[in-house]
Structure 1
Amino acid sequence: YTFGGGTRLEVDLGHVPPKLTVLSPSMHEGKATLLCLANNGFPSGWTLSWKVGCSSSSSSWEESRSPGVLQKDGLYSWSSTLRLPADQWEKLDSVTCEATQDSQTPVPETLWRNQCS
């Protein structure tokens, strides 16, 4: 933050883990699309990744991630989208979105398929 004639105040927030939310999938054209929202984290270098069942990657998944967006409070928000075949989603128990940053403890959020309507 900069005040008046250029006095600059910097506040070191350290590492603030983001709050994760995994939204129930939307189904379209034979694909299940899940969204992971990460809010109020610091610094901007947290990375979002997905674990589907016991696996952390598959050639049949499509992942996309947004860069960190700085909010007015000085914290960041991100999102990640996972698309997988609907028949694969129907066979799963859960999907987990995980935020990682250097040596910080990973932050997981799991969506259990039986929680979805």
Structure 2
Amino acid sequence: FIFGTETLGRVPPSLTVLAPSSEELQQGKATVMCVANKSFPSDWRLSWKVDGRSSSGEESRSPGALDGLYSWSSTLKLSTYQWMKVGSVTCEATQGSQTLVLEILSRDQCSHL
């Protein structure tokens, strides 16, 4: 079933923030990923905050939409040392100047880290 895009209006993505793996941390790296699912239109952007301060990540987009909805991800690269000092990481989905969705990952929620 394909949605007519004109009927969708604005659909905010659902966000999932994935913590770095313990194997990666042992290598001195910490990659945090934010996956945004099923949004419309395609002009949503993901941004990061580390302990409330803006931080830059790498956004990767798939070329097309599934069912008329867009999914994409952004990765935030830190060192293990930086990760161990972090209290929380926030992924924000913005459209224009508005932040409409955010997902917070607290490091102390990650038992193996």
| Coarse TM-score class (shorter-chain normalised) | 0.7 to 0.9
Structure-1 residue corresponding to 2:47: 49
Aligned length: 106
Structure-2 residue corresponding to 1:115: 109
What amino acid is aligned across from residue 17 of structure 2 in structure 1?
V
Could you say what secondary structure the match of 1:49 adopts? strand
Q: Which ranges of structure 2 fall in alignment gaps of 5 or more residues?
A: none
Higher share of residues assigned helix = 2
Structure-1 residue corresponding to 2:69: 75
Structure-1 residue corresponding to 2:30: 32
TM superposition shift of 1:83: 0.7
TM-score (norm 1): 0.80
The runs of at least 4 consecutive aligned structure 1 residues that moved more than 2 Å come to 9-12, 26-29, 103-106
Structure-1 residue corresponding to 2:80: 86
Structure-2 residue corresponding to 1:19: 14
Comparing 83-92 with 103-112, which one deviates more in the overlay?
103-112
Give 1 or 2 for the bigger CA radius of gyration: 1
What's the C-alpha RMSD, in Å, of the aligned pairs?
2.2
Deviations 1:45-103 (A, max 9, x none): 1000110012103xxx6x211125411x2111010011111111111111000000125
Q: Which ranges of structure 1 fall in alignment gaps of 5 or more residues?
A: 2-8
The CA distance in 1 between the partners of 2:80 and 2:6, in whole Å, is 46
Q: How does 1:95-110 map to 2 (within 5 A)?
A: 95-110=89-104
Distance 1:105 1:51, change over 3 A: closer
How much identity, in percent, do the aligned residues show?
59
- Give the alignment partner of residue 58 of structure 2, picking from 64, 70, 76: 64
Could you say what secondary structure the match of 2:108 adopts? helix
